């Protein structure tokens, strides 16, 4: 194993305690239930990579396998854990909170678990939010509800103040459930903790409804999002077909990456156009979106358009860059804009069209997790707990190549995952919708 592997996870120190988990320690016959600290999984599974390593005698790039360790860093019954949820809502946050609490309490016997209210604000005493004591009884039923039981927030807090709060409250491990901003935030806490030579593990559980976290297979809640969006598309199609030249426009979430819009359209193949942030499309001209829409209406007398919130931002002429509390650029409303442009175009031609604009964004993101996401959330939570108890820090628990692994936060936050417009996934969207390769 190469020492320079970029995916190696930092550790607070040597694991000196025996895990309280009653798992088999017999090697051989596959009875060894603990994951060894040296267990690695190859990241790039291609034959090309395999041949390259064979020819050059190099070790492939690997990731640490997630799971319970036989020896752990923290003494379970003296450990204090804290959980914080930040950024936008996403299905499954409560399942993750519940999973972390249950695993800490029942697997490891951790007695003190603190819920940090309203995101990183809760780590700033000046905000006066206090803490919530988390017990199995408290979190027993929360998986049935969408949203976050702890509350969330955006906006920067002072890293030093937050680490002071963790130290003053003798927190040994912090689980941060959130998107790229939250993960960068918790990594910054980890850096400050290292600078102070403190022994606090910081763990990220990637939450982004947009599925735009790099390297990982999928983020939790994403599947529920397009699951919830599918029947909305079905009904929007009914609306469109119910009128002569009926047009339904449905805006879905997707600030920089259009995975929800694309996946929902594949799941409910009644959609004729999917517009995503990754595309640079135009409205005017012979190959422009409006002309292609007109041709579609001539043939079929209805059209269903799914647009991701971050799509078509280049179409706004006098765009002002407005940011939210966390510095994320607030997008112009592409849904309303498209509705107006389509209406104006057909008015000019005196073609009667009926346009329905539907924006279910907040309904989608507040839904409780579906069964598949619920399974995923629990397993992510358990793996996060195993990693933290082993003294790992500045890592996310996630799934890569369909296996649970630990990845350094710094690696998953380097860039956003986006739809590859040359790839098989987007090609399947084009096949499903019948829209041309390029619009305008
Ligand atoms: P979403 O997917 O909903 O955008 P997010 O986690 O990216 O989730 P943000 O609002 O961008 O949501 O960030 C959450 C929190 O992380 C905010 O309190 C923000 O100030 C903090 N944060 C973001 N980036 C950093 C950073 N580089 N260092 C420290 N804190 C950060
Ligand atoms: Mg974000």
176-225 pLDDT per residue, tens? 999 999 999 999 999 999 999 999 999 999 999 999 999 999 999 999 99
Q: How far is the CA of 255 from the centre of ligand 1 (A)?
A: 14
pLDDT level of residue 437 (50, 70, 90 thresholds): very high
Q: Would you call 210 a catalytic residue per the annotation?
A: yes
Q: What's the CA gap between 35 and 28, in Å, rounded?
A: 13
ipTM score assigned to the predicted complex: 0.92
Residue 171 in domain: yes
- Maximum C-alpha span of the chain: 78
Whole-angstrom CA distances from 211 to 21, 220, 320 are 33, 8, 26
Query: Do 177 and 96 meet the contact criterion of CB atoms below 8 Å apart?
Result: yes
Please say if the pLDDT value at position 3 is more than 50: no
What separation in Å is there between the alpha carbon of 210 and the centre of ligand 1? 15
Quick check: 62 pLDDT over 90? Answer: yes
What is the Å distance from ligand 2's center to 328 Cα? 7
Location of structure tokens 């359209």: 265
- Region 314-338 average pLDDT: 86
205 and 97 share one domain: yes
User: Are 294 and 190 members of one domain?
Assistant: no
Residue 29: the pLDDT is: 59
Q: In total, how many domains does the chain have?
A: 2
305 and 318 part of one domain: yes
Which residue among 326, 415, 416, 417 has the greatest number of ligand 1 atoms within 8 angstroms of its CB, and so is best to mutate?
Answer: 326
Whether 35 and 389 have beta carbons less than 8 Å apart is answered as no
Kindly state whether residues 235 and 121 are assigned to the same domain.
no
> Could you say which of 210, 212, 256, 373 is catalytic?
210
Q: Domain check: are 228 and 295 in the same one?
A: yes
* Same structural domain, 163 and 214: yes
Residues 358-395 pLDDT 10s: 999 999 999 999 999 999 999 999 999 999 999 999 99
Residue 440 has a pLDDT of 86
- Is pLDDT of 2 > 60? no
Write the CATH number for 186.
3.40.50.450
Question: 115-131 b/e with 16+ CB inside 10 Å = b?
Answer: bbbbbbbbbbeeeebeb
3-state secondary structure of 123: helix
Please name which of 214, 216, 201 lies closest in space to residue 387, comparing C-alpha atoms. 201
pLDDT tier at 95, thresholds 50, 70, 90: very high
Give the pLDDT of residue 166.
98
The mean per-residue pLDDT over the stretch 138-154 comes to 97
How many angstroms separate the Cα of 93 from the Cα of each of 60, 189, 246, 373? 34, 21, 38, 10
Q: From the CA of 89, give the closest atom in ligand 1.
A: 3
CATH of the domain at 333: 3.40.50.460
Mean pLDDT score, 35-61: 94
Of all protein residues, whose CA lies closest to atom 11 belonging to ligand 1? 181
pLDDT classification of 33: cutoffs 50, 70, 90? confident
Instruction: Round to whole Å and give the CA distance between 94 and 84.
Output: 11
d(CA 28, CA 25): 10
Of 288-302, 303-317, 322-336, 341-355, least confident by mean pLDDT is: 322-336
Beta strands in 189-345 (DSSP E): 201-206, 246-252, 273-275, 302-308, 322-323, 329-330
Q: Taking all residues of the chain, what is their mean pLDDT, rounded to a whole number? A: 95
Query: Ligand 1: which residue has its CA nearest to atom 23?
Result: 181
Residues 214 and 275 in one domain: no
Instruction: For ligand 1, atom 20, name the residue with the nearest CA.
Output: 156
Residue 326: per-residue pLDDT = 82
Is residue 212 located within the same domain as residue 91? yes
Residues 168 and 284 in one domain: no
For residues 228 and 134, membership in a common domain is answered with no
Q: Do 227 and 358 lie in a common domain?
A: yes
Q: Which domain holds residue 203?
A: 75-220+372-396
Q: Are residues 380 and 270 in the same domain?
A: no
């Amino acid at each position: 194993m190469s020492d320079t592997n970029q995916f190696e996870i930092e550790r607070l120190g040597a694991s000196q305690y025996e895990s309280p988990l009653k798992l088999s320690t017999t090697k051989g016959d596959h009875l060894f239930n603990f994951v060894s600290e040296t267990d690695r999984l190859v990241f790039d599974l291609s034959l090309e990579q395999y041949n390259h390593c064979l020819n050059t005698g190099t070790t492939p790039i690997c990731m640490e396998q997630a799971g319970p360790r036989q020896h752990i860093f923290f003494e379970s019954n003296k450990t204090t854990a804290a959980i914080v949820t930040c950024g936008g809502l996403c299905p499954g946050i409560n399942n993750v909170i519940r999973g972390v609490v249950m695993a800490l309490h029942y697997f490891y016997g951790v007695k003190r678990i603190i819920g940090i209210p309203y995101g990183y604000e809760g780590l700033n005493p000046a905000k006066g939010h206090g803490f919530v004591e988390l017990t199995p009884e408290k979190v027993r039923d929360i998986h049935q509800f969408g949203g976050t039981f702890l509350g969330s927030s955006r906006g920067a807090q002072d890293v030093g103040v937050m680490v002071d709060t963790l130290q003053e409250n003798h927190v040994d491990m912090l689980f941060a459930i959130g998107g790229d901003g939250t993960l960068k935030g918790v990594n910054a806490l980890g850096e400050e903790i290292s600078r102070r030579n403190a022994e606090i593990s910081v763990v990220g559980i990637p939450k982004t409804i947009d599925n735009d976290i790099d390297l990982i297979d999928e983020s939790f809640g994403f599947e529920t999002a397009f699951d919830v969006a599918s029947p909305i598309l079905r009904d929007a199609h009914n609306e469109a077909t119910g009128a002569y030249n009926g047009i339904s426009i449905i805006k879905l979430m997707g600030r920089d990456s259009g995975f929800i819009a694309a996946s929902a359209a594949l799941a409910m193949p009644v959609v004729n156009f999917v517009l995503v942030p990754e595309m640079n499309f135009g409205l005017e001209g012979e190959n422009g979106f409006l002309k292609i829409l007109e041709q579609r209406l001539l043939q079929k007398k209805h059209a269903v358009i799914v647009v991701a919130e971050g799509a078509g931002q280049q179409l706004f002429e006098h765009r002002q860059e407005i940011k939210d509390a966390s510095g994320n650029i607030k997008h112009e409303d592409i849904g309303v804009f498209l509705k107006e442009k389509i209406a104006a175009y057909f008015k000019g031609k005196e073609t009667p069209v009926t346009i329905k604009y539907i924006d279910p964004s907040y309904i989608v993101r507040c839904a409780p997790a579906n069964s598949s996401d619920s399974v995923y959330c629990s397993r992510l939570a358990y793996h996060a707990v195993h990693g933290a108890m082993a003294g790992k820090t500045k890592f996310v628990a996630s799934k890569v190549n369909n296996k649970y692994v630990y990845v350094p936060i710094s690696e998953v936050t380097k860039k956003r995952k986006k739809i590859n417009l040359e790839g098989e996934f987007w090609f399947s969207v084009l096949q499903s919708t019948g829209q041309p390769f390029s619009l305008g």
